[in-house]
Chain A
Amino acid sequence: MLSVDCIEKSYKKGGLFSKKKEQVLKNISFECKRGECLGIIGESGSGKSTLGRLLLGIEKPDRGTIFFEGKSVGNRRVRMGNISAVFQDYTSSINPFYTVEEAILEPLHMKKELLGGVQSKIDQVLCQVGLNPSYRKKYPHELSGGEAQRVCIARAVSTEPKCILFDEAISSLDGSVQIQVLELLKNLRKLYDMGYIFITHDIQAAAYICDRVMIIRNGEIEEIVKVEHLKDVQSAYSKKLLQMIIA
Chain B
Amino acid sequence: MNRLKYVLKDKVAALSLSIIAVTTVAGVFAPFIAPHDPEEVNMELQFAASSWEYLLGNDHLGRCMLSRLIYGIRPSMLWVFAALVLSVTIGSIVGFLAGYFRGKTDAFLMRVCDVMLSFPGYVMTLAVIGILGVGFENILLAFVLMKWAWFARIIRTSVMQYAESEYVKFSKAIGASHLKIMISHIIPVALPDIAVIASSSFGSMILQISGFSFLGLGIQAPQAEWGMMLNEAREVMFSRPELMLAPGLTIVIIVSAINYLADTLQVALDPQLMTSKNKQLGFETTSIAKLEGKGVA
Contacts and interface: CB of A to CB of B under 8 A. Distances in A.
Contacts of B275: 139, 142
A85 B188 contact: no
B185 interface: yes
Contact of A79 (B167, B175, B185, B271): B175
A76 B167 contact: no
B167 A110 contact: no
A141 B176 contact: no
Interface in A52-78: 53, 56-58, 76-78
Contact of A139 (B169, B176, B189, B274): B274
A165 B166 contact: no
A3 to B, nearest CB: 18
Nearest to A84: B174
A85 B166 CA distance: 10
B90 to A, nearest CB: 24
A96 B189 contact: yes
Interface in B160-203: 165-167, 169-177, 184-185, 188-189
A159 B271 CA distance: 27
B249 interface: no
A87 B276 contact: no
Nearest to B188: A97
Contact of B172 (A56, A78, A94, A165): A56
B167 to A, nearest CB: 5
A89 interface: yes
B166 A83 contact: no
Given A85-B169, A89-B166, A138 B276 contact: yes
Contacts of A139: 271, 274-276
A77 B175 contact: yes
Contacts of B271: 96-97, 139, 141
Nearest to B277: A137
Interface in A77-99: 77-81, 83-85, 87-89, 92-99
Contacts of A89: 166
Contacts of B176: 76, 106, 110
B175 A137 contact: no
B175 A110 contact: yes
B272 interface: yes
Interface residues of B, number: 22
A97 B274 contact: yes
Nearest to A89: B166
A133 to B, nearest CB: 13
Interface string B257-274: 000000000000001101
A83 B173 contact: yes
A107 interface: yes
A165 B175 contact: no
A163 to B, nearest CB: 11
Interface in A114-157: 137-139, 141-142, 152, 155
Contacts of A244: none
Task: Give the interface centre of B165, B167, B169 by most chain A CB atoms within 10 Å.
Answer: B167
B189 A56 contact: no
B174 A79 contact: yes
A89 B167 CA distance: 10
Contacts of A83: 173-175
A98 B171 CA distance: 13
A55 to B, nearest CB: 9
B107 interface: yes
A76 B185 CA distance: 18
Interface string B240-284: 000000000000000000000000000000011011100000000
Contacts of A88: 166
Given A92-B166, A97-B189, A79 B274 contact: no
Nearest to B164: A92
A16 interface: yes
Contacts of B166: 87-89, 92-93
Contacts of B274: 97, 139
Given A94-B167, A141-B271, A152-B170, 11 more contacts: A16-B107, A77-B175, A79-B174, A80-B174, A85-B169, A92-B166, A93-B166, A93-B167, A106-B184, A110-B176, A138-B276
Interface of B: 107, 165-167, 169-177, 184-185, 188-189, 271-272, 274-276
6 contacts: A80-B175, A83-B173, A83-B174, A89-B166, A94-B167, A155-B170
Which 6 pairs of residues, A with B, have the shortest CB-CB distance? A80-B175, A76-B175, A96-B271, A93-B166, A56-B173, A79-B175
